[in-house]
Amino acid sequence: MDLLNTLVDKGLRRELPSREEALAVLATSDDDLLDVVAAAGKVRRQWFGRRVKLNYLVNLKSGLCPEDCSYCSQRLGSKAEILKYTWLRPEQASEAAAAGVAGGAKRVCLVASGRGPTDKDVDRVAKTIDAIKADNEDVEVCACLGLLSDGQAERLREAGADAYNHNLNTSEATYGDITTTHTYADRVDTVHKAHAAGLSACSGLIAGMGESDEDLVDVVFGLRELDPDSVPVNFLIPFEGTPLAKEWNLTPQRCLRILAMVRFVCPDVEVRIAGGREVHLRSMQPLALHIANSIFLGDYLTSEGQAGKADLEMIADAGFEVEGTDQVTLPGHRGGGAGCGSGATDGCGPGGVCGSHESGEAAQVAEGAEARTDLVAVRRRGAGTDLAPNA
């Protein structure tokens, strides 16, 4: 297929595909799916070999968010029956993080619901970072606290944070359809603040909200322009009690095409399969490892993930290896640092837009596919509970 040969050549040269080429990847047929995965896999192996980076989420503060992001189980007015609790103490967060590190996680992602941190919140997170690194000095820490004010990214960097996550989620043109309490430009500004402070920037997207192929390409091209080290790809988890509970627009095949498009547009960054992989990729998850080089281990912010042991078995069975703390994630030309970590989840991540932007394919999928509501499970263990975490 000439298209795929062209995209592989461009990916190996770090050359940006055209919008038409990116759209063509999303339009490929199921008959060509394995060819698409194989082509994206060549680009992935060029820059990341067969390594898979493991990341582990710690939800520092769950629920009670004043923002109205339509996709989020923690949003203002959410009826989703999720765990709700205020800030974990530093020692509680460190204990939760230790479970992920013991399971092989190289990065711990500290997430808190809310519009953005106060200066007091930054102080609190700084103490948490210190506690985690005191127990696990080699672990990388990524913070995901919402919109940053001037000087806060610098303070997090001084406190020992390695990275900051803030997702774009969807295209600028459709952003107002999913959130009214802040703007796409606000999110871009926070990613710029993280960059400027010397933090590894992490910013990704959410698919499956009824958006068009053009919207997906727009947000991924926007991410390429921002140049984050890491791009988490979330697949909407349609929580009951949120405005997007009925948005079941994805098949495993479409998820693989979306991941491949992201890899071709962002060939040398850490592409992470984030929230919703178990719900939408299902038994096709091992194929996705041929495209992405990073996943979350265990549970997400407010939903349960695949068992950590099953994640490790899947990686080994697919012929990949877990990236060690002594290995460098990114290629040398990107500074050799690590990608980021926490845009991936049902709380800070997966999102949706209204049905008026639904593409022809998405509408078809919604009609023909059975909604797997049985795969959406609210997290009842780990941080904020007395039960052991899944790692």
The verdict on whether 142 is a catalytic residue reads yes
- Residue 114, burial from CB neighbour count under 10 angstroms (0-12, 13-18, 19+): middle
Beta strands in 166-305 (DSSP E): 200-202, 205-207, 230-235, 270-273, 294-296
Is 72 one of the annotated binding-site residues? yes
Q: Of 51, 69, 124, 263, which is the active-site residue?
A: 69
Q: Of 44, 75, 107, 142, which is the active-site residue?
A: 142
Distance between CA atoms of residues 115 and 184, nearest Å: 13
DSSP state of 351: -
The verdict on whether 13 is a catalytic residue reads no
* Segment (H or E) for 42: helix 33-48
Output the six-digit token pair for 225.
């322009």
The verdict on whether 65 is a catalytic residue reads yes
Output the six-digit token pair for 272.
């992470």
Q: Of 44, 51, 75, 109, which is the active-site residue?
A: 109
Q: Of 144, 202, 266, 348, which is the active-site residue?
A: 202
Is 69 one of the annotated binding-site residues? yes
Q: Of 75, 272, 277, 379, which is the active-site residue?
A: 272
Q: Is 108 helix (H, G, I), strand (E, B) or coil?
A: strand
Is 354 one of the annotated binding-site residues? no
Residue 365 backbone phi and psi in degrees, to 5: -60, -45
The verdict on whether 69 is a catalytic residue reads yes
Q: Is 325 helix (H, G, I), strand (E, B) or coil?
A: coil
Is 65 one of the annotated binding-site residues? yes
The verdict on whether 255 is a catalytic residue reads no
Is 379 one of the annotated binding-site residues? no
Is 266 one of the annotated binding-site residues? no
Q: Which residues are annotated as a binding site for [2Fe-2S] cluster?
A: 109, 142, 202, 272
Q: Which residues are annotated as a binding site for [4Fe-4S] cluster?
A: 65, 69, 72
Indicate which residues carry an active-site annotation. Answer: 65, 69, 72, 109, 142, 202, 272
Q: Which residues are annotated as a binding site?
A: 65, 69, 72, 109, 142, 202, 272
